């Protein structure tokens, strides 16, 4: 049905968009036949094969798939850092590029500014994003500081607020990175393997923290992960991607009720779901090992 | 502990150098018209200091004035060169051309325009200090890490936000490194200008001393210039360590 709209001009596409979003305001992200290529001609790489995806407000989508399949590229598309080579990306009812939503993004590598303390790094979004930026000078030593400290405490970094990024371990940096993505109360949260460098126990603890936050504030979340258990524990939907050039080969709702606990992950249905996802990613014959 | 040994051994080596100089001059009976003894230089320096220091102040003032404007101009040009293709293609060649001209050849022009005295000294200091600043600032800006910029761009930051919050802070170590060079060449510049066209300043003192074959004063002037040069360099090294400790990963940062 969207096909007819698409054949018309880009302008018409946008007009059609805003009409639909007026009737149905719950659609937050729409990727329509989007693909991304880097470089020109034959020497270029297809980073993302043709992808169509709708995300409704308040959903929690987990992306899993082999390395290099374009998961990070999807997040970069949604945040406006990468332009689609083909297709249309609509975020918050507008074509991407115009910031219609407050976006919080945790990059795959922590990307902390080395000249700022951890506290100042985490505070950075408050300096940039409206409406906070107007109050930054007035509140950075008071309210904003308390807010950052509270977040750092939640991820166990209270003692490191005044340290510089190079004084932290990889896992600690990742936790600070997560705080930076959350500090400005984003409506859309883009998390690129936020727990990748953490030990199992810290990771499971932070799943709980993230889930509680999501249940409380209900941001829309896109989470990229390599951990199927993590994907199923947190996600309300799991999108599985094929190897490069990636496409979404499976888009499955996760049937377990929130709030989920670690106990949930040991239930037979949960394990079965993980196994099914795994078989989609790894060809069946090589997945003879453990689940 | 290690620090104390380091300072002590450095002091010992430097004192040893002057000691050897003194000893050799005495043993070989070198005429003090050719090479005065360090002790003689020191005595002259102390005796003539009341006459010398107003000149020194004059030179330092010209140096700092030229340096300040040179750095300001250098930062502005450096930011433009580092962030704009067009500026890179036009300003850079001009600047390199200008810097290749020996300043001794330009000082007469300054003198024709502004008369002998302080202004040519300031302008020479200025023109010498611009180049190292431009090169370093432009390098810092143009090598800015895209990952760090992405953090801000994902938040919807403007180009100006990115300049202030990523490009400029990241350039700070480059800027400070260039300040050490800039202050040194600015000092040389103002002294050179004074030797050519001024009747005030340490450069003038050197010219007069040389005309009078006052070798002891000449060397005292050299000593004074060296000491001041070291002090200025030290000042900016200290500022560098203080403000850009993160780049060298020293924890002694505020
Ligand atoms: N800026 C770029 N220029 C050229 N190619 C790129 C660029 N960014 C990504 N790619 C290519 O696009 C493909 C997808 O990259 P992407 O980072 O999205 O993978 P990913 O799914 O996040 O992988 P991983 O799980 O390893 O993080 C990769 O093959 C990569 O080589
Ligand atoms: Mg990735």
pLDDT in tens, B223-252: 999 999 999 999 998 888 888 877 776 554
Percent of chain A residues topping a pLDDT of 90: 38
Helix and strand numbers, DSSP H then E, in chain B: 11, 0
pLDDT computed for residue A6 by the predictor: 40
Inspect the interface and report whether the beta carbons of B169 and A115 lie closer than 8 Å.
Answer: yes
> Where are the domains positioned within chain B?
42-243
Residues in A touching B140 (Cβ below 8 Å)? none
Q: Residue A259's CB: how many other CB atoms inside 10 A?
A: 11
Contacting residues for A15 by C-beta, under 8 A, at least 6 apart: none
Does A114 contact B246 at a Cβ distance shorter than 8 Å?
Answer: yes
A20/A125: higher pLDDT: A125
pLDDT at residue B16 tops 70: yes
Task: Answer whether A100 touches B (CB < 8 Å).
Answer: no
Q: ipTM for the complex?
A: 0.80
- pLDDT value at B178 more than 90: yes
- Chain A residues close to B152, C-beta within 8 Å: 124, 128
Hey, what are A94's tokens? 């507008």
Which CATH number applies to A3-19+57-75+99-286? 3.40.50.300
What is the mean pLDDT of the segment spanning A221-231? Answer: 92
- Residues A25 and A155: their CA atoms lie apart, in Å, by 33
Element of type H or E holding A240: strand A237-241
Assigned CATH class of B42-243: mainly alpha
In this model, does residue A266 exceed pLDDT 80? yes
């Amino acid at each position: 049905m969207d096909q007819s709209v698409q054949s018309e001009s880009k302008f018409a596409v946008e007009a059609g968009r805003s009409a639909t979003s007026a009737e149905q305001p719950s659609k937050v992200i729409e990727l329509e036949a989007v693909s991304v290529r880097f470089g020109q001609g034959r020497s270029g790489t297809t980073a993302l094969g043709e992808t169509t995806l709708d995300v409704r407000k308040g959903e929690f989508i987990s992306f899993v798939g082999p390395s290099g399949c374009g998961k990070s590229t999807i997040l970069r598309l949604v945040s406006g850092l990468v332009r689609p080579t083909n297709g249309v990306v609509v975020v918050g009812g507008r074509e991407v590029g115009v910031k219609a939503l407050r976006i919080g993004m945790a990059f795959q590598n922590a990307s902390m500014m080395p000249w700022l303390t951890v506290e100042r790094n985490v505070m950075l979004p408050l300096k940039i994003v409206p409406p906070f930026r107007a109050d930054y000078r007035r509140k950075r030593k008071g309210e904003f500081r308390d807010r950052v400290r509270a977040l750092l405490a939640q991820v166990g970094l209270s003692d490191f607020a005044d340290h510089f990024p190079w004084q932290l371990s990889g896992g600690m940096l990742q936790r600070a990175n997560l705080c930076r993505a959350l500090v400005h109360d984003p409506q859309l949260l883009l998390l690129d393997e936020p727990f990748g460098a953490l030990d199992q126990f810290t990771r499971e603890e932070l799943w709980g923290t993230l889930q509680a936050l999501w249940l409380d504030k209900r941001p829309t979340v896109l989470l990229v992960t390599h951990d199927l258990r993590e994907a199923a524990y947190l996600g309300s939907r799991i999108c599985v991607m094929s190897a490069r050039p990636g496409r979404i080969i499976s888009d499955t709702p996760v049937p377990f009720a929130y709030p989920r606990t670690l106990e949930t992950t040991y239930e037979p249905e949960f394990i079965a779901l993980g196994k099914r996802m795994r078989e989609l990613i790894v060809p069946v014959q090589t997945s003879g090992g453990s689940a | 502990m290690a620090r104390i040994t380091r300072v002590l051994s450095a002091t010992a080596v430097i004192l040893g150098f002057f000691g050897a100089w003194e000893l050799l001059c005495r043993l070989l009976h070198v005429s003090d018209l050719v090479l005065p003894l360090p002790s003689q230089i020191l005595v002259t320096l102390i005796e003539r200091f009341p006459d010398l220091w107003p000149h020194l102040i004059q030179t330092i003032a010209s140096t700092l004035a030229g340096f300040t404007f040179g750095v300001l101009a250098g930062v502005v040009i450096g930011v433009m060169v580092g962030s704009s293709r067009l500026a890179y293609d036009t300003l850079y060649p001009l600047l390199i051309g200008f810097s290749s001209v020996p300043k001794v050849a330009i000082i007469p022009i300054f003198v024709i325009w502004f008369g002998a005295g302080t202004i040519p000294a300031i302008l020479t200091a200025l023109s010498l200090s611009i180049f190292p600043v431009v090169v370093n600032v432009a390098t810092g800006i143009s090598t800015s890490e895209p990952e760090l910029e992405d953090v801000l761009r994902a938040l919807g930051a403007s180009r100006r936000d990115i300049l202030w919050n990523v490009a400029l802070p990241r350039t700070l170590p480059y800027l400070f490194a260039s300040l050490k060079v800039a202050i040194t060449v600015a000092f040389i510049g103002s002294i050179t200008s004074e030797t050519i066209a001024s009747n005030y300043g340490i450069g003038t003192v050197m010219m007069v001393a040389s005309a009078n074959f006052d070798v002891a004063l000449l060397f005292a002037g050299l000593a004074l210039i060296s000491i001041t040069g070291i002090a200025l360099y030290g000042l900016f090294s200290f500022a560098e360590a203080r403000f850009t400790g993160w780049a060298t990963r020293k924890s002694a940062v505020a």
